[in-house]
Amino acid sequence: MHHHSNTPNNHEPMQSDYLSGPQIVPRRVQPDMTVVELIDQQFQAYNAARLSEAARLYVEEMLNPERDVTIGMTMAGALTPAGLGGCIITLMEYGFVDFIISTGANLYHDIHHALAMALHQGDFRLDDTKLQQEGVIRIYDILFEDKVLLDTDAFVRESLKSLPNRPISTSELHYHLGVQLIKAGVRPEQSVLAQAAQWNVPIYTSSPGDSSIGMNVARNALDGSLLTLDSLADVNETTAIVHHATRNGVLILGGGSPKNFYLQTQPQLWEVLGIQKGGHDYFIQITADAPHWGGLSGATPSEAVSWGKIKPDQLHSTVVIYGDSTIAMPLITAYAVSKAKPRPRRALLQKRAELLHKLQIAYKAGKESRP
């Protein structure tokens, strides 16, 4: 986290400025401590401190009603198979996440839970050749029957039949899948897709061909269907959401393509559409990637400033937790629902046409004013 010292600009920081942070104290752990007590008292340095800073940034700034922050969440890595959907559903329910950009895989595997198909805790030290012979699929230490994939594919294909025979945005596809899961009625309350549909939270996939959902849409095309997924509609919709927001904040799980798809909404505004918005305001990322490999997943908020993705004067409102989403996310979720009041849900899905219209007006006005 980038700290700006509290010193006026006319002098260099002094010893007292450097030593102005809270004193580190080896506090005792008590039986039955709450998550909030644990994070506030024990998480004092290294990535524990980053998690504590992120939790406070989320609660005190991003969820502060006076700041009016529209919060995006990006999801990469196999999180829904690990049960992390429970955290995301909780955050949506409280109005703590307003829209989501996810890998297709997270949404595909989310469907298993809704249809009551079993994923099991297992061992990562198994013989994969033997698993393949037994019809068992492995995601590291998660095991499930191969029939789960075939039955989920059948559900997706059946759902596609009631969509229009034309290009649609992925938000429209995911809303439709969520509605079908609610109608199927097995365990929709365990599904991010179903609950997002119920609460009108738009969900986007930046690379729709890169998962079994897209693969089944592709099969449809071989049958002569004109239903395709329009990534460019997604670019415009996500940009419209960000353009309209008073302030923007993001919670990045992992990194990858969803991270960039969220962050690029700012360059889309200033670089491509000529609309100056200045960048995102708040940035929290949980990642296991380091910046020195040069990849986007590990790229720092500071580097993002150079792209106009994050406001330079908001660098103190950015935190990177180097760690595992499956550990950090439940802790941050528990902290948020313990300390912040629920916010009214923005129901952005219903507002997409209106927000696109506003973006178009701003774009045209800028075009006319430029030489």
- For residues 155 and 181, what is the distance between their CA atoms, to the nearest angstrom? 9
**83-122: b or e for each residue (b if 16 or more CB lie within 10 Å)?**
ebbbbbbbbbbbbbbbbbbbbbbbbbbbbbbbbebebeeb
What average pLDDT does this structure show over 318-325?
97
Instruction: Work out the angle between the directed axes of helices 104-114 and 192-199 (0-180°, nearest 10).
Output: 90
pLDDT of residue 66: 96
pLDDT of residue 9: 60
**Percent of the chain beyond pLDDT 90?**
95
Cα dihedral: 200, 206, 209, 211 (round 10)? -70
Catalytic hit among 309, 311, 339, 341: 309
Higher pLDDT, 366 or 298: 298
What average pLDDT does this structure show over 220-235?
97
- In the predicted model, is pLDDT for residue 369 greater than 90? no
Question: Would you list the domain boundaries of the chain?
Answer: 54-369
- For residues 240 and 352, what is the distance between their CA atoms, to the nearest angstrom? 8
Tell me: the pLDDT tens digits for 42-83? 999 999 999 999 999 999 999 999 999 999 999 999 999 999
Q: What is the mean pLDDT of the chain?
A: 95
* pLDDT class of 166 with cuts at 50, 70, 90: very high
Q: Is 339 a catalytic residue?
A: no
pLDDT of residue 367: 84
What average pLDDT does this structure show over 335-357?
98
| CATH number for the segment(s) 54-369 | 3.40.910.10
